[in-house]
Structure 1
Amino acid sequence: MKKLVIGDIHGGLKSLHQVLNRALISKKDVLIFLGDYVDGWSQSTEVIDFLISLKNTHNCIFIKGNHDDLLLNYLKTNQAHEEWLIHGGQTTMNSYQKLSKPHIEKHIDFLESLLPYYIDEENRLFIHAGFTNQKGVEHEYFTSLFFWDRTLWETALALNPKLSKEDTKYPKRLSLYNEIFIGHTPVTKIGHETPFKAANIWNIDTGAAFTGKLTCLDIDSKHFWQSDSLPSLYPNERGRN
């Protein structure tokens, strides 16, 4: 049995099929999805459909991303935030115009079922973006930070690698969990194309929304599989560029 964590998909169903096939997943494996299933490439609705079907056949854990939350708000209120439309939402909105009301209701149910975070039996945290409370995610005052925060990742990147966990200057947030797995901020922004570790945080977002690839990581061995670059899979589209 493998435990696999999958990064931000952003409507790229072709890339999702590729990484799951390349990882040779089985029904015994645990699949942990870090959120941002939509916005970017043209298959956001198809991604949600596929994840719903996968949930019925495999052991899946689905975490909420900020783009998923924005989509849920749109589907429930029919109001679209302007920033959401600019950053991939318009393509997603267009795709939902083609779905029936019962089909959309099924997607709403799925989006409402997404977890804010997941902590496994080895005290490893899986969360889309981050948190700020020094006592941990269970004590977070502003739960929207779970899918919007970037300070956790920025703190890890800025940390002196020679600083030990026993040092009083070591960030308390990073000492609460054995490992933390996140997406949200593409590692391509700091010049990396593969999963990148800073302190005890593994960032699995390898830029699938833009010009990068989708990544699936074995959380125990740290072996990973990647799709082809998303622009090569969707040559007639722009993604979130």
Structure 2
Amino acid sequence: MRTLAIGDIHGGLRGLIQLMEIAKVSKDDTLIFVGDYVDGWSESAQVIQYLMELSKTNTCIFIKGNHDVWCEDWLRTGEGEPVWLAHGGQETVESYASLSEAEKKQHLYFFDAMDLYHIDDDNRLFIHAGFTSMHGVEKEYNFRNFYFDRTLWEMAITMDNSIKKDSELYPNRLKQYFEIYIGHTPTINFYKDKPMNAINVWNIDTGAAFTGKLSAIDIHTKEIFQSETLQDLYPSEQGRNKS
């Protein structure tokens, strides 16, 4: 029995299916997705349908990302934010063209039921982007930080590794949890094509929306599994490279 944390998918169903095969996912595995299932490649609606089916065979935890918030709003109101449509949302709208209104409503329920974060029994935090409260997510003053914040990762990646956890220089934010798993900020921005670890933060968004791969990590052994680059799996598309 494993627990796998899975990075941002961004409409790349082919990458997701390939990742499941490469990781040899069985029904005994727990799967924690850190958000951004949609926007980018052409199969966003199909990714959601796949995940809904997957949740019937596996224990799945779905964290909500900022792109998921935008898509949920569109499904609810029929109106898409201009910033969303310009950053992968238009491809998502097109992917829903073949779905019935009843199917769209089921997807809306699925988005609505997503968690903003998850804390496991070993005090690991799983969240899409980050948080700013020094006291942890329960004390966060603005829940939008859960899916938009980048300061948590910026802080972790610039920290001096020689600073010990019992030092007063060690950020209180990081002291709250044994480990923190995030997406949102692609590791390819830092010229890394695999999940990155900084202090006790693991960034598992390896840029599948752009020129990277879709990644999963076994949270206990830290074994990494990856699809091919999504560009290679969708050779006639641009993903979010054009946005």
Q: Which residue of 2 aligns with 1:77?
A: 77
Q: Is contact 2:46-2:95 (8 Å) kept?
A: no
Q: Is contact 1:20-1:216 (8 Å) kept?
A: no
Q: Is contact 2:38-2:68 (8 Å) kept?
A: yes
Count of matched residue positions in the alignment of Structure 1 and Structure 2: 241
Paired residue secondary structure (1:214): strand
- What is the letter of the counterpart of residue 15 of structure 2? S
- What is the letter of the counterpart of residue 54 of structure 2? L
Q: Which residue of 2 aligns with 1:107?
A: 107
Q: Decide which moves more: 26-35 or 91-100.
A: 91-100
CA distance in 2, matches of 1:220, 1:27: 18
Structure 2 residues not aligned, in runs of 5+: none
Q: Which residue of 1 aligns with 2:172?
A: 172
Q: Which residue of 2 aligns with 1:48?
A: 48
CA distance in 2, matches of 1:215, 1:187: 11
- What is the letter of the counterpart of residue 37 of structure 2? Y
Q: Which residue of 2 aligns with 1:27?
A: 27
Deviations 1:148-168 (A, max 9, x none): 100000000111111111111
- What is the letter of the counterpart of residue 175 of structure 1? K
- What is the letter of the counterpart of residue 235 of structure 1? P
- What is the letter of the counterpart of residue 4 of structure 1? L
TM-superposed CA distance for 1:98, in Å, is 2.6
Q: Is contact 2:35-2:64 (8 Å) kept?
A: yes
TM-score for the superposition, normalised by structure 1: 0.99
Q: Decide which moves more: 165-174 or 90-99.
A: 90-99
1:139-218 equivalent positions in 2, closer than 5 A:
139-218=139-218
TM-superposed CA distance for 1:97, in Å, is 2.8
CA distance in 2, matches of 1:148, 1:11: 19
Tell me how large the CA RMSD over aligned residues is: 0.7
Q: Which residue of 2 aligns with 1:236?
A: 236
TM-superposed CA distance for 1:70, in Å, is 0.4
TM-superposed CA distance for 1:55, in Å, is 0.7
TM-superposed CA distance for 1:88, in Å, is 0.4
1:119-134 equivalent positions in 2, closer than 5 A:
119-134=119-134
TM-superposed CA distance for 1:217, in Å, is 0.6
- What is the letter of the counterpart of residue 219 of structure 1? I
Deviations 1:133-153 (A, max 9, x none): 111111111111111100000
Percent of residue pairs identical: 52
Paired residue secondary structure (2:228): coil
Q: Is contact 2:215-2:224 (8 Å) kept?
A: yes
Paired residue secondary structure (1:174): helix
Paired residue secondary structure (1:143): coil
Paired residue secondary structure (1:227): strand
Q: Is contact 2:4-2:218 (8 Å) kept?
A: yes
CA distance in 1, matches of 2:26, 2:200: 28
Paired residue secondary structure (1:5): strand
CA distance in 2, matches of 1:74, 1:98: 16
- What is the letter of the counterpart of residue 210 of structure 1? F
Paired residue secondary structure (2:57): coil
CA distance in 2, matches of 1:128, 1:64: 7
TM-superposed CA distance for 1:94, in Å, is 1.6
Paired residue secondary structure (2:130): coil
- What is the letter of the counterpart of residue 173 of structure 1? R
1:7 aligns with 2:7: yes
Paired residue secondary structure (2:68): helix
Q: Which residue of 2 aligns with 1:60?
A: 60
CA distance in 2, matches of 1:41, 1:239: 5
1:138 aligns with 2:138: yes
CA distance in 2, matches of 1:216, 1:18: 11
